[in-house]
Structures are given as structure tokens and as C-alpha cells.
Amino acid sequence: MLKRSIGIGMLCLAGHAYSAEITVTITDDITKDDSECSLREAIEYVNKGMPEAGYMGCGGKNALSTILLDKQKTYTLNAKVDVKASLALKTYYDTTVTEDAVPGLNNAIIKMTGKDQIFNIDHDPKDLALITIKEVSFEGCNKSVCADKGGIFYNNERLVLQYVKLSGGNARLGGAIYNVGESSATQNYVSEVSITDSIVENNTAVTGAVLYSQRPAFRLSSVVFKNNNTTSGAANIFSEKAIADVTLLNDKNINKLSNSTFLNNSGYIINIRDGIAVNNVTIAGNKAGVQFDSKEGYGYLANSIVVGNGSGTNCQFNSDDKTLLQNNLVGTECKSGDAKYPNEFWTGSKLFASNSSEGSCKSLMEDPDALLCPYSTPKDTFLGYIRPRILLTAKNMFDTLILNKGRLDLSADSTQLVCETMDQRNKNRTIDNSWCDRGAIEIVVPISKSRIGQDLKVGEVAKLNILEYLGDSDLYPKEKCESLLKMKNPAGGDWQDGCAYIDQTLTKSKGTLTLDIDGNLVYTPNGNWHGADIFNLQIVTSSTHFNENKKYIVLEAYMVQEPNNEFEDKSVKTSGGALGLFGLFAVLGLVGIRRFKK
């Protein structure tokens, strides 16, 4: 551990000493001509064009416009910081230590302690500055109104956010972000916002608690939006106007919201105007759903889930709306959509397999009807998600409302919006998008063996949970194993959950195993043996049970038992005080003489 700590420290020192990035050395909001560099001073140094002489302890000759923050530290601001030049802001940590290098889990935090927005991003109107922020969390002022426009960011440039968290912003327009997004008489560009792999939660605004833009100018992908509150009932992602000239739109410049999850938000989620495409999103358990206002038919909602959002408020259409709706799962008040790729309607009454919208998911026996598992965040990950369930009533993998609902039309006249190539977790969807899943999450079934096991001392039992190895599936309930497999348990006795079957491979059986519907596995050795019990554990799941030939996945189990170490060497004494230390030096001295003589 000591060697590892020294190694990491040397890496940090080397990185800071030989790179030309600007390192923020203090967490307080201070402007003072000394050797320390605050966040405000670092940004102002870049604003000033990065003079070789440095500024207030920041930068110097050959400096880069990249500002580094230390992981998990909180940097406070008393008032907003003006950002007037292109820069990169990111958290620094040792990415070679894999267990600590999960993006998003080491974020430095920038916190507003006054009553103001955090960054006012507005550059010279002659060109467009690029502001890139990675692995930094922002905490707004958490007061009634942090700023009139943009509780965290006011943006009139190109703002790119990745692995960030935005929370606590409060404004009249744009609780988290206000984006100008419109050309003026002196400029021919529009400011825009790009957010990926991020969390936006607990922000408030009269309009646009997440994002307010004068016209659509955004790309949002793999983002979780939770507990945001638009108090007027308007949309959380709000565009004031549509794009004026829709003939200029194409795949490259259309504004897209994709592979994202919305939960527990108040107000509508987004108002779809011309120039906005929404694809593969999950909008469930909010106070309202989607507003449609695409007058020219250049707005899209496709391959998405919009259910359980208030009473009769999943969809709201303006009278002249022409939004193209394709292949969605929606509430009954929504339209059927495109004739070639029609929507399906959810008529169920149970949305989440839980007593709340967040937390653990009930088993298929506890709750056989709920459409979705509640939102949860797996261990050592940044983004949580809502997992679709494969109900026992499904006759096959195509007899569901969510799975395998993608369609691919290669005809020349097709206006289809195909599924995204990756899901919210950056897992691949089907190669040709022909049978992809609706919503933000693609159901993944493991195709290779996972290894499980535990090292035991004599008298111990192994306890572990196997649900994480099942992909996005549930254990098949024991009550249905005999009818599914058309046989009794070959091992004798009743079937266990998952129709668990042990196939001994390299050793004879040396213990017994139990498995419950929640994935809790208990392995008990049958004696005080020393060695390993190696076997394949075959498990039937809600997804694999449809297969004709192989209805199970395989977990490779290694259970190792060792005797308790009761050995005590009475011939060697480790005590002795100064005499013992002297003896040690004497031995080392003899070794030195031996080497010298050679």
C-alpha cells in the first residue's frame, strides 16, 4: 500500500510539474496576487489571453487553456465567474488505478455559496468559444432564485459537458442552463449545448428547469434527468421558438435528445418543435409527458417509452402539430402515429415493480404485472437507469411491449428514424437495428460465462448475490420450472429458483447450494476438506427461458476452502528490543562483508 501511495503521488507530481495545464491549488474563492491559484483566477487568466507572466499565481509560459481540479474536492464561489474564452475544465486523478477511475465518481464539485449563477459564458460575438467541462459536478445556490436566466450556466457559446452533475440551480428561465441559441445581427452562429453521460437533477425554474433555449440548439445523450421542477407546467427542456428555415435541416444539424431517462420531474419533459428529434428515451413516472408543436413536420419522437406520466398527460398536442411519431410505447391519450411504424398503447395500471419509483425491483412472483423495474444505480457506476421487465405472460421474446420492437426499412422513400446504435449505458444495440428495444435501455443477455466464487476457512459458508451476472434478466421462479422444463429436478427434491442445476466439472461435489428468487446464493461445504469445489451453475432467466435448445446461462463457480492457520513457530522470537535490532544489523553487516570479499 505504501509503494502504491508513493507511486500515485509521484505520478501526480510529475503530471503537474511537466504538463502545461493550469492547476487550481486552493478551494476558496480568492483573488489575490500570491503563489496560490483559485478557480476564479484560473479562468480570468484564460480570459486575459494567458500572458506568459501568469496571473495571480496561475499559468505562465507555455500554459494550456486546460484547468485542473482535484478529485472529490469542493471549490466554492461567492458570485458568478465570467467565461470569455475557449477553455477545458476537468477533474484530475490517476486513471491507471482502475478501481478508482470510473468516470463521474471522482468529480470535483463547484458550489455556489452566494445567490448567483455559477458561470456566465459569453464571448466576443465575432466567433464562437468552445467550453469543455468533464467530470465536474456543479451545485447551484439552492435559493429561491439564483439568477434570472440560467441558475447554473448562462451560455452564449458552445458548451460541452460530459460526466457532469448539475443540481440545485434555480432561475426564472433555465433552472440549470439558459442557452441563447439564436443568431443576432452581428453574428452568423448560434450558441449550443451538448450534454453526455451526465445527471441533471433537483433544478427549478418557471420555464425550462433543465434547459431553456431561445431556439433548439442542443444535443443531449445518455443523460439522467430526475426531480427537476418546472413550476409553470411548461417543459423542462424548453425551446422558445422553432428553427426558422426547416429546409436547412439534416441529420448533422438536427437537435437530438436520445438514450436518456426522465423520472420524477414536474412539468412536461420537452416541447418538440421543428428541428428536434427525440429517440430511444424513457419518460416514466413524471408529472407530465411530452408537448408536440411541430408545425412543419420536422419534429420526431421515435423508439421511446412515454407512459405513467400523470393522469392523461403523457402527450399534449397543439392543434396544428405535425410531429412524426414512430414505434413508441405510449399512454392511451397519445396518437397512433405513423402508419408504417405505429405506436403501441400501454393499458396497464402498474408501472414499477416496487413501492416507489426508485430502489430494488420485486421478483416476477412478487409482482407479475409491473412494466418496469424502478430506477437504481448499480455499484461503481455513475448513471442509474430504469430496466424493462420480461413478464412471465410473454409467449416469446417478441411478445412484449418493449423488447425487439425496432424495425428497419431500407426502402428509398423511408422516413424512418432508426434506433440509436448504443443505449444509455453505452452498450451495443442490435447490429442492424432491426430488432432493437424501445426506450433508453437495451436488454442485454450474457453470452459468455461469468466466474463466481469465494475463499473460505473451515466452518464458513459462502454467501453472494448473482443478479449482477444475469444481465438485464430476472431469475425464473421455482414454481414454474417443472412445467417449463417438463421434468422434475434431476438432483432430487424440489426445484430452486432459477431452476438451478449444478454440473460438476473438474471436481466431485463437496458441498450444497441454495438459491432464492432475489439471487442470494449460499454454498455450504460438506466437511473440513482442503481444496476447491469447481462446478458450472446453470440458471434459467426471464430472457433465456424462451430458447428452445438452451434455456439457461452458465456461471462458472470456484469454491475454495482452506484450514484455519493455527501454526505458531515457537523457535523464532520476534521480540528482543534493542538487542534484537542489534542482531539484525549484525546479520546485515555479515552480508555486506560477504559481498565485499567477493
Q: How far is CA 22 from CA 68, 428, 464, 548, in A?
A: 6, 37, 46, 60
Q: How far apart are CA 342 and CA 257, in angstroms?
A: 20
Provide the pLDDT for residue 427.
Answer: 94
**How many other C-beta atoms are found inside a 10 Å radius of the C-beta of residue 109?**
18
Residue 13 inside a domain? The answer is no
Instruction: Output the DSSP codes for 230-261.
Output: ETTSSEEEEESS--S-GGG--TTTSEEEES-E
pLDDT given at position 578: 37
Please tell me the predicted confidence (pLDDT) of residue 243: 83
Residue 550 lies in a domain: yes
pLDDT value, residue 473? 94
- The pLDDT of residue 9 is 41
Can you give the CATH number for the domain in which 548 is found? Answer: 2.60.40.10
Q: C-alpha grid cell for residue 188?
A: 452568423
In a domain, 488, yes or no: yes
- Distance of alpha carbon 128 from alpha carbon 319, whole angstroms: 37
Per-residue CA distances from 537 to 80, 282, 551 (Å): 58, 34, 13
Which residue shows C-alpha cell 420492437? 405
Percentages helix, strand, coil for the chain, rounded to the nearest 5? Answer: 10, 30, 55
Q: Domain for residue 406, yes or no?
A: no
Q: How far is CA 112 from CA 68, 152, 199, 434, in A?
A: 19, 9, 18, 47
Q: Give me the long-range contacts of 495-498 (CB less than 8 A, separation at least 24).
A: 498/539, 498/540, 498/541
Whether the Cβ atoms of residue 226 and residue 236 lie closer than 8 Å to each other: no
- How much is the pLDDT for 397? 84
> Residue 511: inside a domain, yes or no?
yes
Report the C-alpha gap between 114 and 124 in whole angstroms: 27
Position 505 scores a pLDDT of 87
Structure confidence at residue 185 (pLDDT): 52
Question: Does any domain span residue 529?
Answer: yes
Bridge-based pairing of strands 87-92 and 130-134 is: parallel
Q: Which helix (H) or strand (E) holds 43?
A: helix 39-47
CA distances from 469 to 49, 113, 366 (A): 52, 43, 21
d(CA 31, CA 473): 54
Rounded distance between C-alpha atoms, residue 306 and residue 296, angstroms: 23
- Residue (of 78, 87, 67) closest to 20 by Cα position: 67
Number of domains in the chain: 1
The distance from CA 5 to its chain's CA centroid, rounded to whole angstroms, is 29
pLDDT by residue, tens only, the chain of 598 residues = 333 333 334 334 444 444 599 999 999 999 999 999 999 999 999 999 999 999 999 999 999 999 999 999 999 999 999 999 999 999 999 888 766 789 999 999 999 999 999 999 998 777 899 999 999 999 999 989 999 999 999 999 999 999 999 999 999 999 999 999 876 655 567 899 999 999 999 999 999 999 999 999 999 999 999 999 999 999 999 999 988 777 766 665 689 999 999 999 999 999 999 999 999 999 999 999 999 999 999 999 999 999 999 999 999 999 999 999 999 999 999 999 999 899 999 999 999 999 999 999 999 999 999 999 999 999 999 999 999 999 999 998 888 999 998 876 666 666 778 899 999 999 998 766 668 999 999 999 888 889 999 999 999 999 999 999 999 999 999 999 999 999 999 988 999 999 999 999 888 999 999 999 999 999 999 999 999 999 999 999 999 999 988 899 999 999 999 988 655 444 444 334 333 433 433 333 433 333 333 3
Please give the residue range of the domain that contains residue 506.
450-562
User: For residue 144, what is the DSSP state?
Assistant: S
**pTM listed for this prediction:** 0.88
In a domain, 558, yes or no: yes
- Domain assignment present for 403: no
C-alpha cell at 138: 456543479
| Alpha-carbon distance values, 557 to 132, 510, 532 (Å) | 45, 12, 10
pLDDT of residue 563: 86
Specify the DSSP element, H or E, that contains 454: strand 450-457
